[in-house]
Amino acid sequence: MTLRFLACCILVSSLAFFLTGCWDQVEVEKRATIVGLSIDKATEEEMKLDDVTHPDFQFNENDQRFKLTAQLSVPGQVALGPAQGNTSAEDNVWIVEGYGITIGDAVQSMQQKIAHDIFFGHLQVIIVSKEIAQEGLKPINDFFHRRSEIRRTVWLAVAEGDAANTMSVAPKLEQIPAIYLSSTLDSAVEMGKFPETHIGDFWVACASLGQSAILPYLEVHGDNIRISGMAFFDQEVMVDIVPPYQVVLYNAIKGSYPPGASLMIPIENGAVIIKSRTREAKKDIVLVDGKPKITIKISVDTEVREKSNEKIDLGSAATIQEIKENAIKNATLHAEELIRLTQKNGTDIFSFGEHIRARLPRYWDEHVKTEDRWHEIYKDLETEVVYDITVDRIGIKAN
């Protein structure tokens, strides 16, 4: 009995050592927490200074050269709640650069300059320069996909020009520029101005056979950052940009939630701005003479936000009818334009291909099968946009 008691004691006390999880304890101060990361192309000179994972710099023609600029949050500097006194973005963040022929290589070169272990768990946004995006994001994806601490809700965005510069723009609303950037994109989704395209969604779109990926496209305007459209990709290689006013139509065709985008509709005596309140999209897919035809039925309820001049009589039913008709005409025209733009490049950002794979599996198995083949077929895909817009709110101003 005493022997058994002793054995139990030893077992229980040894559990005390095992159950504490001390192996994995990390002090918050001893973590180099990266909140934002930008990826640019490095020059050959920059590369030569920063070799960590391999001996002497050997530049291969096919190697890519990445310059990583990380925004680290400085522990203790970021105040909880409103900022007090004179704190600027420079005090709150620390910028570290790294160079390498792969992302992992560049991260190691960055680690060489930081005392603490680099931690990606709070990464909010990754910005890649247009140059890198046009070369393809495949080498970038692997690193971020493989590490389990990186969230799939990280924003991945393409920047016009220098990505590091885009990320360093420090607006007044947030203490950390990278966090401002990610909240800009988050609110754009909430306001219905932009589709939800987190890095996880980007991967799903890249992997799907009948869908091309999209990412937000950012531009620096003085001290501000502007979402200037949507970059679209052909298998991880950036092709072109959808201008902002067409992003609205993209959202409409996808039927994405929530609605809330505004469009300016020209009518006889000027123009009105209408904002969508509810949005619904239905896709009818049929085979016509052995070829798929997609009819996109979009129904939108809208609200009038503004009229451009006093001549417009919003009190009359005829004007409302005119707004409605013109809105349908305009939206249909622009939506068709957008579809044609993507068809020119064979990039199906609307995931029509996935719908066809799902609903006409026999056609897909016989004629499509691969992603490349779908891109070819998509170029001549017959589509029709049928809009149904109602203007059901005018606002509190009477004529």
Partner 1 sequence: MPNQREPVTTVQLACVIINSTIGISVLSLPRWGAEIVGSGGVFATFLALIFYLIFLVILSLVARRFPEQNLIQFGNKIVGKYISFIFGLMITVLFVLLTSMVIREFGEVMATTLLRETPLEVSLFVMLAIVAIASRKNISEFGYIHFYYIPFIIMPGLFLISMAIPEGDFFRILPVLGNEPSLTGMLDSSMTIIALPFFQIGLYTLTVIFPKMQDPKKALKGSLYGWIGVFIMIMSITTVTYAALGAEQINEEVWPVLALARSISFPMPPFQRLDIFFIVFWIITAFTTILSGFLISIHTFADTFKMNNHRKLSYWFLPVFLFVALVPENNVQMYDWMPIIGKTSLVITAGYPTLLVIISMFKK
Interacting residues toward partner 1 by CB under 8 A: 11, 15, 18-19, 21, 23-24, 145, 148, 151-153, 198, 200, 203-204, 207-209, 351, 354-355, 357-359, 361, 364-365, 369
Min CB(339)–partner 1 separation in Å: 18
C-alpha distances out from residue 261 to 71, 156, 158, 256, Å: 32, 22, 22, 11
Nearer to partner 1, 99 or 155 (CB): 155
Nearer to partner 1, 50 or 348 (CB): 348
Nearer to partner 1, 172 or 369 (CB): 369
Which residues have C-beta within 8 Å of that of residue 92, sequence separation ≥ 6?
73, 74, 77, 78, 175, 176
Min CB(279)–partner 1 separation in Å: 15
**113 C-beta neighbours (distance < 10 Å), count:** 13
CA atoms within 13 A on the CB side of 313: 5
| Spatial separation of the C-alpha atoms in residues 144 and 137, rounded to whole Å | 11
| Spatial separation of the C-alpha atoms in residues 116 and 153, rounded to whole Å | 25
Min CB(42)–partner 1 separation in Å: 28
Nearer to partner 1, 148 or 309 (CB): 148
C-alpha distances out from residue 291 to 26, 294, 317, 380, 383, Å: 59, 10, 42, 10, 11
Q: How far out from the chain centre does Cα 17 lie?
A: 44
Nearer to partner 1, 152 or 397 (CB): 152
CA atoms within 13 A on the CB side of 180: 21
Min CB(129)–partner 1 separation in Å: 25
Nearer to partner 1, 21 or 55 (CB): 21
3-state secondary structure 192-222: CCCCCCEHHHHHHHHHCCCCCCEEEEEEEEC
Nearer to partner 1, 281 or 394 (CB): 281
Min CB(292)–partner 1 separation in Å: 14
Per DSSP, the residues of 40-63 read EEPPHHHHHH---SSSS----TT-
DSSP 137: S
| Spatial separation of the C-alpha atoms in residues 120 and 111, rounded to whole Å | 12
Nearer to partner 1, 284 or 337 (CB): 284
| Spatial separation of the C-alpha atoms in residues 38 and 243, rounded to whole Å | 23
Nearer to partner 1, 163 or 260 (CB): 260
Which residues have C-beta within 8 Å of that of residue 315, sequence separation ≥ 6?
398, 399
Is residue 105 classed as helix, strand or coil in its secondary structure? Answer: helix
The most distant pair of C-alpha atoms in the chain lies apart, rounded to whole Å, by 100
Nearer to partner 1, 60 or 370 (CB): 370
Q: Read off φ and ψ for residue 2, nearest 5 degrees.
A: -65, -35
Min CB(145)–partner 1 separation in Å: 7
Min CB(241)–partner 1 separation in Å: 24
| Spatial separation of the C-alpha atoms in residues 197 and 154, rounded to whole Å | 9
